[in-house]
Amino acid sequence: MKKIVLLLLATILMSATAKNAEPNFVGKWTGDDNKEVGFITFDKEGYASFEVKGQVLGGKEFEMNGQKGKMTYEINTKTNPIQVDFIVTKLDTGEEKRMLCIAEFIDKNTMNFALNFDNIRPKDFLSKNAIVLTREE
């Protein structure tokens, strides 16, 4: 009887810990957007990048329109849904622009993700700018 109680207690503690664990965004995520496969990478140093059709935008340093920049990310897990901000910074001036997003984990390797290009954070995952992402790495 004692072994059964200990096993039950261990199972309850493990499931409670898993539910309270911070979601892990680090990795390469793939999504299919209108039959066009793209990737979002969150690295452990805080840099993010997008890849579509073999072109990479973001990371520690990239060039766009003759200007060098970097792309980082910030995540607020205290909100529901989770708030994700991509921050593009011009390296020469320090000027920043943010892309406001939301995320919701379906399981540890699958999430709903929505972004908006109008400097307004999406409210749900029903818009045309929502996608299901799957962790590749």
Residue 134 · residue 110 · CB < 8 Å: yes
Residue 125, judged by CB atoms within 10 A of its CB (0-12, 13-18, 19+), counts as middle
CA distance 36 to 83: 25
- The pLDDT-based confidence of 7 (bands split at 50, 70, 90) is very low
Cβ density class 50-75: b for 16+ within 10 Å, e for less: bbeeeeeebbeebeeeeeebbbbbeb
pLDDT at 21: 65
State the residue for tokens 């990737």: 39
Residue 134, judged by CB atoms within 10 A of its CB (0-12, 13-18, 19+), counts as middle
Domains of the chain: 26-135 (2.40.128)
Residue 88 · residue 94 · CB < 8 Å: no
pLDDT higher than threshold 80 for residue 13: no
Residue 40 · residue 48 · CB < 8 Å: yes
Mean pLDDT of 104-129: 92
CA distance 96 to 119: 13
pLDDT digits (tens, 9 = 90+) for 87-114: 999 999 999 999 999 999 999 999 999 9
